[in-house]
A and B are shown apart, each in its own frame.
Chain A
Amino acid sequence: QYKHYKQFDIFENAVGRPSSSSFPKHLQRTPVVCPCQISQAIMSIFEYNGAAIIAMAGKECVAIGSDLRFGVQLQTMTTDCPKAYKIHDKLYIGLSGLGTDAQSFHQQLVFRHNMYKLREERNIKPTTFGHMVSSMLYEKRFGPYFTAPVIAGLEEDGTPYLCGMDSIGAMETAKDFMVQGTAPESLYGMCESMWRPDMEPEELFETLSQCLLSGVDRDALAGWGAMVHVITKDKVISRTLKGRMD
């Protein structure tokens, strides 16, 4: 089968790796060209860039994965833009929807977490973070960020924490999985059929990867590779997946 994985790196006590608040480097050099002859009417502001994010919970571990496509409507620009960002070693947030809002909102979150660390002298708990994100989104109720987050983390005692929100902060926690993106139905279908409770980290990674890769095969605006982070008590394993590039 065409799905095979490349083990990218293993982070022991993942510290020191800078978070990927990466402004796509190519955009700093070249202007963006629009395929102007074929003018595509925008279907929705959430479908301008395209994304697919899944977070799943296992036995004392969580995993979060996203596709790697960065595109503008129908044109694919680059294939190195992950949508799951690290807050701290045991907390990741995936931001779907409009790319610029996802980036800006992520930068706000990094700022808020840095201030929190200075004041509280510890990392933020996932539950607290979830509520903070929810109220930050609702603050912009009448001019929202067009981005819907998925939060995946591990509590102090090792229990997984999963929650997802819409773009104005309606929070919903889950014990099994959370999906967001431009093809939620495909992703839900895959997750619903493949998720089982109490999966070990390796199995969780397999399941999430299969769900993600198969789900984005039915989405024109997401795919072109995937990246999955598996968070356990002592380390974070991040892998880049090869998928269909069409």
Chain B
Amino acid sequence: MVLKLDTSLLDRPAFTHSHRDELGEDAQIACHASTPGAQGFPLPAVRELDSFERQVVEMVKPAHGTTTLGFIFEHGVIIAVDSRATMGSYISSQTVKKVIEINPYLLGTMAGGAADCQFWERNLGQQCRLYELANGKRITVRAASKLLANTMFSYRGMGLSMGTMVAGYDHTGPGLYYVDSDGQRTQGQRFSVGSGSLYAYGILDQGYKWDLSVEDAIELGQRAIYHATFRDAASGGTASVYHVTPDGWKKVRGDDVLDLHSRYYPKPELHPTNAVEVL
């Protein structure tokens, strides 16, 4: 008696043109490279696409542990971020680069899924370069953030997790836009994103003035991140500060939060969260 092996799963690839037709309009658009920037990604070959996507969203969702902030003032844009990545309560890294340098005059921050942020902001960099080559001039921050937001919208509901600020300088002046994976795109003067954003807002809102000097603005951004790393368990590591001017961005600070703590509270016993008698 011959044992017959079932090789039906090797017969044809899971994803072919005929399979694509079954999936429906929306999925086809997502698969197609319809906009110049959007890539054509194959959809997972599962029977129940919706519940699979929901599970993916649940898997990525807890990863918003971070603090990033940005604000516009008289002398440009300040972007400040922490550098911690957590998986649940485990700290996976204290040295994550959360500011993505899209090009010498555009910056994007990272909050949410690291892979999503890195990939799509690099993709945005590609699109900006293609724009430059096609039009012979630099892209505006407004247009760049619109490109990113449109890309995010086309993948809406598929489990991407990204909350980013696109900041830069163009011929109209400084620009700061908040773009996230739900497709939201908001222009503003002050933003903070992540689990530590509420603590950062407290410091930022209290110390902000339009006509801050460059040094004071950098110090404000750094202090806001420091206070967020103190209170928020999912933020920490180093506080990096970037300053964007008409000539482009420049990284101006990268101090470890421990050094900042000893600088702001040289007598730790006097810190407000420390009772007078510890024992």
Contact = CB atoms under 8 A, between A and B. Distances in A.
B230 A8 contact: no
B233 A78 contact: no
Nearest to A9: B279
B261 interface: yes
Nearest to A24: B275
Contact of B89 (A41, A82, A219): A219
Contacts of A76: 230-233, 273
A87 to B, nearest CB: 15
A5 B197 CA distance: 32
Given A8-B279, A47-B89, A75 B231 contact: yes
Interface string B194-238: 110110000000000000000000000000000001111111110
Interface string A186-198: 1000000000000
Identify whether the interface residues of A are mostly helix, strand, loop, or mixed: loop
Interface in A186-227: 186, 217-221, 225, 227
Interface in B49-67: 62, 64-65
Chain B, interface SS category: loop
A80 B89 contact: no
B119 interface: no
B91 A245 contact: no
A78 B229 contact: no
A47 B195 CA distance: 17
Contacts of B90: 183, 186, 218-220
B91 A219 contact: yes
Given A75-B232, A78-B274, A38 B86 contact: no
B72 interface: no
A71 B234 CA distance: 12
Interface of A: 2, 8-9, 17, 20, 22, 25-26, 35, 37-38, 40-41, 43, 47, 50, 68, 71, 73-80, 82, 182-183, 186, 217-221, 225, 227, 238, 240, 242, 244-246
27 contacts: A8-B278, A8-B279, A35-B198, A37-B198, A38-B64, A38-B194, A38-B198, A40-B195, A47-B89, A50-B89, A74-B233, A75-B233, A76-B232, A76-B273, A78-B275, A79-B274, A80-B273, A80-B275, A183-B89, A218-B91, A219-B89, A220-B91, A221-B89, A244-B257, A246-B82, A246-B236, A246-B258
Q: Would you list the 7 A-B pairs with minimal beta carbon distance, nearest first?
A: A246-B236, A246-B229, A220-B233, A78-B273, A80-B275, A79-B273, A74-B233
Interface of B: 62, 64-65, 82, 84, 86, 88-91, 94, 194-195, 197-198, 229-237, 257-258, 261, 268, 271, 273-275, 278-279
